[in-house]
Structure 1
Amino acid sequence: MMDPAPLRHWLAQGTPRAAHFPYDRVVDAYHHHGKRFVPQEWTSLLSRTRERLPEYAGPTDFLATFLDTALDRTDHRFDYRTYLALRLLAVPDPDTATEPADRLLARRDRLHVLLISDLVAAELRALEGPPQPTRDLPPSPLLARKRLHHAVRAAAAALRRLSVPIRDVDDPVALARRLVTMVCIDRTPAEGLTLRTSLLPVSTVHDELLFIRTLQAFEVTFGLLSVDLTAAISAVQHDRLTSAGVRLTLAATLLRETAPLWSLLATMQPDAFHRFRIHTDGASAIQSRAYKLVESLCRIPEAERLLSPAYRSVPDVGARIHDGQVSVVDALTALQVDRNVLAEAPVLADGMRQFTGAVHQWRRTHYRLAVRMLGTRQRGTGATPGTPYLLHGRDSAVFEDPGSSPRGGFR
């Protein structure tokens, strides 16, 4: 067992400084044991740390969030959001996003690239570094090179927008090294701390690091998509239909750019996935708040869908809908009374088609990968419906055709 002496020493100070909390030693212990198996001595000390938060010098918000993430199993509230440490990441959110679209995209791109580069660094260590006794089932050199190729592809579009020069070469390992070097050149201490603390695997299986980082990258993207859809709704409400179409087209482009993430995730070894998956009970992607926001901002789901496990697992999204959240469909229907809105705004119609196509492609790819890992009958994590549920929803409507509802269309 790793010695928790640094944590005990920090706690023994008269007035511990929150900024000096031994994050590295705590994270090392979680990686050494896996969150599922962290010894009680560590969790007891962390619980004491949390109880004493008001005594510490300096800001404690980040430390409080980290402790809540690290102690989710101790508190019996382990779920998808704590598993992915989403509160430690600056996931875009329509309730708090106030910056212009270009700055929000730049922030998402920066976080996306940081997550991918950290994943790449872990794969390079497994490929080129000394054997890591605390990491089980490492990939073969051939598989690691394939992962590095897909990881660089997954970062490429964001790197271009951020003007980060990564000269293309044939060797995926050399290209991956350049990616890590260029991203780390200007990485801030705060970014480094965020990356370090937002990766707390439940096991010691190497591929779990890939799994967590890839899902985090998806969450960051869907967070920004929810902001884009909110902006498109506002544009429709103010009769700026072309602007709404442009925003939807940009959102579709961003979602299509995530395709290499699926290729990257598909390199996960099935044996490795099943090895760590047994310890993730209670954490299912069905609990993704960002995805449900995107879905409900396109059109308000039918009552049956709102009563499904998918929406019961994100009660705050259900509350938004209950409180009158407006969707793209609602905003368009309000204009549809005596106008053929899509006929007079071809850019909007095209944006809706493009976003619909991108969502359907994303769902189908998700389904195919889930079948590869789980089969067609196995239930999902935490007794969720699994692949049969994905099959039911993979081609469900994003935006429906005008006139398909008694209210006048799009619903």
Structure 2
Amino acid sequence: MTSPDVLHRWSAQRRPPIDRFPYDAVVTAYQQHGKHFVPDAWTQALTAARNRIAHLNGGDSRYLSTFLGCALDKTDGRFDYRSYLGLALLPIPGPDQTPGAAARQLVRRDRLHAQLLIDLIAFELRSAYDELTALPQMRPTPAVTTKRLRHALRAAMPALHRMSFVDDASASSEIDLLRRVTAAVNLDLTDDDRRALQTSMLPVHTMHDEWMFIRVLQAFETTFALLASDLTEIITAVQAGRTPAAATRLSAAASLLRESASLWPLMATIQPAAFHAFRPYTDGASAIQSRHYKILESLCRRPDNQRLHSPAYLSVPEVHTAITQGQVSLDDALDAAQQPAAEDPFLAASMREFTAAITQWRQTHYRLAVRILGPDRTGTGYTQGTPYLNDARHEPVFRHNPPTTRDVGGNA
């Protein structure tokens, strides 16, 4: 087991060098014990380190402060979904309205999406051959590992192809392809990328499957962030009268959402017994707190008052505030333009396409939750669990669903 002595030595320096903070030792300790069970000696040493850097400024100290906030979230009583997943430590795409932003944001999403999944693949491969790999409890059988690797690779391939990282046609076998994509992504990693992958893996327990659980949720959040940014630009295009551009962008968003659904078969490889072992220690961190998903949902249409003032949105107060202060949704923009979606068959088609994609995503989420939790089990973070998901999957995506092709005079 690692000792916090290295952390004490770092803190004892007259001016602790931010670029030499012992991330390796801290992350190793957290993965050896699990965040919920990490010894007090570590949390006390981390608290002392945080106090030492409180007066420092600069990008590196801000990142370290963010990391310490995630590491000490349970100690501070601030453990939630964002700190559990270390979302603030990852280069998740955000709003950007500069020329060419859409293409750059997709590249950022693809790089991070691929990095998260390749990290999972590398972890599974290491665990299969090395008993000393982190999170040793309840390792899956070889058959489950093989299935997990296959689904992780399948979920990563579209992004890898867009980045021209791999030619799967030249691979002699699946394991050869796994090694090739792992090598290609690792060669592309910057020092900042490596640090982000390292620091964003602070599981609460030592169950093997929690690594996969965290990486899949992080990958979903990366896509939701990009889609929320896309919706903002789509609304701007509608407001400017550029409905063809809005329709094209919305159709692309639907395609990306359908593509991300390939993460569900990967998540389905989780061992229920392993999930139930670490799940109690995630109380306080629930996907209901997903800020990116709620932004995405609320940019399609303003939630009705019952949902807006329920835990669904009260769990994300900054999103709730934005809505109550007049955030414009796509429905609002179409109403203001006095242009029903039906008047533009391309926009109507893209809205139907996006509705189908998000509805399917919700349905799959619900079915998987029922299979793992049961139909009446509460969720993490004191939420209603599967009953909540059952209600949420029936929420309309847009206030006025676009009519079918037959309704607007086309051929169905």
Query: Is TM-score (shorter-chain normalized) higher than 0.5?
Result: yes
Distance 1:22 1:260, change over 3 A: same
Aligned counterparts of 1:263 and 1:382: Cα–Cα separation in 2: 24
Q: CA deviation at 1:136?
A: 0.3
Q: For residues 78 and 396 of structure 1, do their structure 2 counterparts lie closer, same or farther at Cα, with a shift above 3 Å needed?
A: same
Q: Look up the match of 1:408.
A: none
- The CA distance in 2 between the partners of 1:105 and 1:44, in whole Å, is 40
Q: Does 1:264 align with 2:263?
A: no
Question: How is 1:47-66 mapped onto 2 (pairs within 5 angstroms)?
Answer: 47-54=47-54, 59-66=60-67
Equivalent of 1:275, from 269, 273, 277?
Answer: 277
Segment of structure 1 superposing worse, 228-237 or 132-141: 132-141
Q: 1:382 to 1:402 in 2, by over 3 A?
A: closer
Which deviates the most, 169-178 or 97-106? 169-178
Which sits farther off after the overlay, 171-180 or 194-203?
Answer: 171-180
Partner SS state of residue 384, structure 2: coil
Mean Cα deviation higher: 132-141 or 344-353: 132-141
Q: Which residue of 2 aligns with 1:373?
A: 372
Superposition deviation, residue 395 in structure 1: 2.6
Partner of 1:8 in structure 2? 8
| 1:180 matches 2:182 | yes
Moved over 6 A (4+): none
The answer to which of 387-396 and 60-69 deviates more is 387-396
1 CA distance for matches of 2:110 and 2:8?
38
Matched, 1:324 2:329: no
The residue number in structure 2 matching 1:390 is 389
Q: How many residues align?
A: 400
Offset of residue 63 of structure 1? 0.4
Kindly provide the CA deviation profile for residues 331-389 of structure 1, in whole angstroms up to 9, marking residues without a partner as x.
001122xx5x4344222111111100100000000001000111001111122011011
Contact 1:117 1:183 in 2 (8 A): yes
Tell me the equivalent position of 2:316: 314
CA RMSD of aligned residues (A): 1.7
- The equivalent residue for 1:208 is 210
Q: Give deviations 1:250-288, integer Å, cap 9, x for gaps.
A: 100100001220000000000000011011011100000
- The farther-off stretch of 204-213 and 378-387 is 378-387
Q: Which runs of 5+ in 2 are unaligned?
A: 404-412
TM-score between both structures, scaled by the size of structure 1: 0.94
TM-score using structure 2 length: 0.94
- Alpha-carbon distance in structure 2 between the residues aligned to 1:153 and 1:202: 28
1:120/1:151 contact within 8 Å kept: yes
1:112-151 maps to which residues of 2 (within 5 A)? 112-132=113-133, 134-151=135-152
SS at 1:106 equivalent:
helix
Q: Which residue of 1 aligns with 2:354?
A: 355
Q: Is the 8 A contact 1:17 1:56 kept in 2?
A: no
Identity, % of aligned positions = 52
Alpha-carbon distance in structure 1 between the residues aligned to 2:183 and 2:154: 16
- What is the CA distance between 1:140 and its match in structure 2? 0.9
Query: Would you say the 8 A contact 1:148–1:172 is kept in 2?
Result: no
Structure 1, residues 193-244: CA drift from partner, whole Å, max 9, x if none? Answer: 0000001000000000000000000000000000000000000000100000
Residues 403, 216 of structure 1: alpha-carbon distance in 2 compared, 3 angstrom cutoff: closer
Q: 2:199 aligns with which of 197, 200, 205?
A: 197
Q: Is the partner of 1:279 in helix, strand or coil? A: helix
Q: What is the SS of the residue equivalent to 1:136?
A: coil
Q: CA deviation at 1:100?
A: 1.4
Q: Secondary structure at the match of 1:52?
A: helix
Alignment check: 8 A CA contact 1:159 1:165 kept: yes
Report the equivalent of 1:106: 107
